[in-house]
Amino acid sequence: MIPNIEILGLVAATLTTASFIPQVLKAWKTKSVENISLTMYLILLLGIILWFIYGIYVNSISVALANLVTAILVTLVIYFKLKYTNKQ
C-alpha cells in the first residue's frame, strides 16, 4: 500500500508536470510568445535535468519520471519561443 504522503507527492508531481501543457498549447496555437521569458525556461530546464539526475541517484521513479516529462514540455516551450520569436 502506498503511504498517503507518497500519494500526495505523486499528485503534486502530476500537477506541476501537467501544468506546462496549457502553456505549450497556447504557444503552439497562438504562435505568439513574446511575453514568455526564455531565460526562465532555460534555467528551469537546467534545474529539471538536475532533478532528473537526482531522482535516478536516489532511486525515485516518480521524481525521475515527473522531471523527464516536464523537461520534454519545457523544451517544447523553448522550441516554440525560438521558432515563433523570429517569425514576428
User: Nearest CA to 77 among 48, 51, 50, 55?
Assistant: 48
Q: Decide: is 82 part of the binding site for its own copies (CB under 8 A).
A: no
Q: How far apart are CA 14 and CA 88, in angstroms?
A: 34
User: The C-alpha cell of 23 is what?
Assistant: 502553456
If one asks whether residue 26 binds its own copies (CB under 8 A), the answer comes out as yes
Least Cβ distance, residue 2 to its own copies (angstroms): 13
Contact track, its own copies, 49-68, x by CB under 8 A: -xx-xx--xx----------
Please give the Cα distance from 17 to 62 (Å, whole number).
11
Interface residues with its own copies (CB under 8 A) are: 5, 8-9, 11-23, 25-27, 30, 32-37, 39-41, 43-44, 46-48, 50-51, 53-54, 57-58
